[in-house]
């Protein structure tokens, strides 16, 4: 479950995440689909881990996000910042799981 707020517009998405590709220890691709009343979100994200120095790990990621329906129509100007925020939250959760 994920909540999304765009100004005065708020909704709650039910989200499923699936790992599409895993190339341990350096690369993974995940796909997520979320649905809410009258809206949907699809995300494909790629994560690449590198070791710039012993004991350090860099995470580089890209994400393609598509949001459709009522949310997209009502709040299209705010989408860029919100999708970046949501992607960051997703990868914070991934990091917490890995470090946990």
Q: What is the pLDDT along the chain (100 residues), one digit of tens a residue?
A: 556 555 566 677 788 889 999 998 899 999 999 888 888 889 899 989 999 999 888 889 888 888 888 777 766 666 666 667 777 777 787 777 777 6
User: What pLDDT score was predicted for residue 97?
Assistant: 75
Alpha helices for 26-78 (secondary structure H): 70-75
pLDDT of residue 77: 65
Domains and CATH numbers, the chain: 2-93 (3.30.530.20)
List CB contacts of 5: < 8 A, sequence separation 6 or more: none
Of the chain, the end-to-end C-alpha distance in Å amounts to: 21
Contact present, 42 and 24 (Cβ < 8 Å): no
- Going by C-alpha positions, the residue among 84, 96, 81, 90 that lies closest to residue 16 is 90
Single out the residue of 32, 68, 67 nearest to residue 47, CA to CA: 32
Cα separation, 61 vs 36, in Å, equals 26
């Amino acid at each position: 479950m994920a909540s999304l707020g765009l100004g005065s517009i708020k909704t709650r998405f039910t989200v499923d995440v699936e790992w599409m590709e895993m190339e341990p220890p350096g690369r993974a691709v995940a796909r997520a689909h979320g649905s809410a009343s009258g809206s949907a979100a699809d995300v494909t994200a790629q994560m690449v881990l590198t070791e710039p120095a012993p004991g350090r790990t860099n995470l580089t990621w890209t994400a393609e996000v598509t949001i459709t329906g009522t949310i997209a129509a009502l709040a299209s100007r705010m989408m860029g910042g919100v999708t970046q925020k949501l992607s960051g939250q997703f990868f914070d959760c991934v990091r917490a799981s890995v470090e946990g």
